[in-house]
Amino acid sequence: MNEMLTLVPVWMAGTALGTIFYGGLWWTVRKGVSSRWPALWFCGSALLRMSIAVSGFYLISGGHFARLLVCLLGFVMARLVVMRLTRPSTESRTCPIEEVGHAP
């Protein structure tokens, strides 16, 4: 039981790392597409996001494999949450043209 209590903050830290990583990716795509120098945005963001994530995993795991796995679980769960929060609304999606099932 005591081991489980020590893994909750590790999971929360992994969730925070995932939110920073994937939230930063979403923000970079929105800014980089309309930027004058998109390559600088994408490369700089990737370098910053990866260095934060790898450093966080290294510090949080502390050399324990179980902590690393729980941190990674929080990281992946944050991806799912960020994807759900940043998806476009259903109203703005265009409806695909219905295709005819046979030749005219």
**For residue range 53-62, what is the model confidence (pLDDT) as tens digits?**
999 999 999 9
* pLDDT at res. 24: 95
Mean pLDDT for the stretch of residues 34-43: 92
Give domain status of residue 92, yes or no. Answer: no
- Tokens encoding 2: 């005591």
* pLDDT band, very low/low/confident/very high, at 89 (cuts 50, 70, 90): confident
Give domain status of residue 14, yes or no. Answer: yes
Calculate ∠ Cα 80-76-53, nearest 5°: 120
pTM > 0.75: yes or no: yes
Cα separation of 13 and 39, whole Å? 30
- Using alpha carbons, list the distances in angstroms from residue 37 to 3, 34, 45, 51: 48, 9, 13, 22
User: Domain containing 50: what range?
Assistant: 2-84
Cα separation of 96 and 4, whole Å? 48
Give domain status of residue 96, yes or no. Answer: no
Our count of domains for the chain comes to 1
